[in-house]
Amino acid sequence: MNYLLPTEWTTTFIPLQDKCPVSPFHLIQDMYQHDTGVGLWDYFSEFSTDPIGAASLAQVHLATIRETGRKVAVKVQHPELEAFVPLDVALTKYTFSTLKRFFPEYDLEWLSSEVEISLPKELDFQEEAKNAARMRAHFDAHAPELPLVIPEVLWAKKRILVMACESGNRPDDLEYLDRNDIDRDEVSATMARIFNEMIFGDGAPLHCDPHGGNIAIRKNTSRRGLGRGPNFDIILYDHGLYRDIPLDLRRSYAKMWLSVIDGDMKSMRKYAHEVAGIEDKDFPLFASAITGRDYSVVSTEGSILKNRSSNEQKSMSSQLQEGLIVDLVQLLARVPRIILLILKTNDLTRSLDENLHTSQGPIRSFLILARFCTRTVFLEQVGEDPRAGFASLATTRCPPACGLVGVHEG
């Protein structure tokens, strides 16, 4: 939401991604002994007492396996969570229900319901291990050209996860990118391809917590080969919360975005209703929420492909002050949860693109998005006629934005 909220707000919350309070080391040792039946120092010859990162649910330590000498990263849940999570969930429900009682316009009860569903999944690291393996298998099979690294999980208990040590820098660390001759535009494009594959890829899982603390970048010249391909890896952490996007929703979502790119408001309204149940009165706000642009820009053909102007930024900020945030909260309460998670992914790639100060602006990201959407629509139409093949692409009815796939992305 960087395009709506003041910079002072968004930058203040960044440390919550990987610099939360840490659990004392003696509690980590006790939990390891309890959960595995062996002492921590019996399995590890080295174990950093200070974590390299700490989030709200867990912290990560560097360690060395005694038997093999392998360097690993050990993710451990905060030991006291087990006792406090039920209380936290109850307090969250009470807080939001009380807020709604006194301020009906701020209905956030859906958020407490989502926490109640998602938190148990995030607290089971064995599920996270399965999710990570599934994501790696999907990209190995369907997009092996992308420089995505999913750390291999060696073993996992419910509160402990031991994985390969794959380290890097935050993707918005511009000094690191420039020092290592990593092209910012290429980073942005690669991120867009990775997350669009999660949304539109056949059978792909969606990583539902894609913030800057869960993504790292590192230089890797071995990928460059004969002058082609990126010279970096994108490392994706924290696979505790995944969702699957139903096929029908994925198809309607693709058509909606092609309508956005075309500036076809009639079709966009149709698919916004199919995707999220959006009525006409809420459509302008929804259109702005999914694009991060003022509605006057969204509704003007071709304008969405241009950079956001200072006047547009001021317009959106003033609308926020005039009550837009209340309308947005009410809208989010009515939108299906899976759509909120997809929008969160879109928000990440859009925010990253702006933080990287790329030279090509939003048009390249839209070209990549259009390619994935067009593929989804085409495969749907081919599937309706089993005799059809890729040779039928020229005669397949597709939204006008399909023409964008012929434009060079790189």
Three-state DSSP class for 202? Answer: coil
39-77 as b/e: b if 16+ CB within 10 A = ebeebbeebeeebebbbebbbbbbbebeeeeeebbbbbb
**Please, where are the H alpha helices in 158-246?**
174-179, 184-200
Tell me if residue 209 is catalytic.
yes
- Rounded to an integer, what distance in angstroms lies between the CA atom of residue 54 and that of residue 237? 13
User: Rounded to an integer, what is the distance from CA 245 to the centroid of its chain?
Assistant: 14
Spot the catalytic one: 209, 264, 282, 347: 209
- Rounded to an integer, what distance in angstroms lies between the CA atom of residue 260 and that of residue 365? 13
Contact 36, 102 (CB under 8 A): no
Structure tokens at 331: 């809208």
Q: Residue 152 gets which letter from DSSP?
A: P
Q: Pick from 165, 162, 164, 166: which is nearest to 35 by CA?
A: 162
Active site residues: 209
